[in-house]
Amino acid sequence: MINSLNAFRTHAFLDAESYFSDTLHEFHEVFIDDFLLLGFSHEGAVLDEVPFVKSPYYPQQFFERVVGGLMASKKSLFNVFNFTEGELKAFGALLYLNNDEEIDDFFWFQKVLDWNHKNMSSFQVWSLKDGVTLDEMNDHWLYYEA
């Protein structure tokens, strides 16, 4: 499951939901280019079975390869976790995918658990802006001042 990925670095926020939310919002403002996939399903859903709304700018094969790459990933570059009262509420992972064809980039996977208190999770995959670096993205989670 993608939210159990090992990571080179992990950023955990404990009972700091407002700070986490502000930091995540600013991460999107600074680093995220566009949504690729957005879907809702039960917590344990397998990623390739989530019914996604897809960006209109890419062909179906691109989405299949991105989802396949995310599912095959064993390690992310870094993870972020938001816990409230000991319960995981949100998870994000930065991954680098390269299939030696049309995919060669960073991707941001984000999952919000118990979306709107309906026992559903929001699954999101985002593309990143050109020119952003791993260090800049990682440092954002270390030094952002909300």
Instruction: Report the pLDDT value the prediction gives residue 146, as an integer from 0 to 100.
Output: 59
Residue 120 has pLDDT above 80, yes or no: yes
**Consecutive H or E run containing 20:** helix 17-31
Q: How far does Cα 73 stand from its chain's mean position?
A: 13
Instruction: Report the pLDDT value the prediction gives residue 83, as an integer from 0 to 100.
Output: 96
Q: How confident is the model at residue 2 (pLDDT cuts 50, 70, 90)?
A: low
Write out the two tokens for 94: 């930065």
Instruction: Report the pLDDT value the prediction gives residue 140, as an integer from 0 to 100.
Output: 94
Which one has a higher pLDDT value, 117 or 12? 12
Residue 111 near residue 123, CB atoms below 8 Å? yes
Rounded-to-integer distance, Cα 110 and Cα 89, Å: 11
Residue 111 has pLDDT above 90, yes or no: yes
Q: How does the average pLDDT of the chain come out, rounded?
A: 90
How do residues 7-66 score in pLDDT, each as one tens digit?
678 899 999 999 999 999 999 999 999 999 999 999 889 999 999 999 999 999 999 999
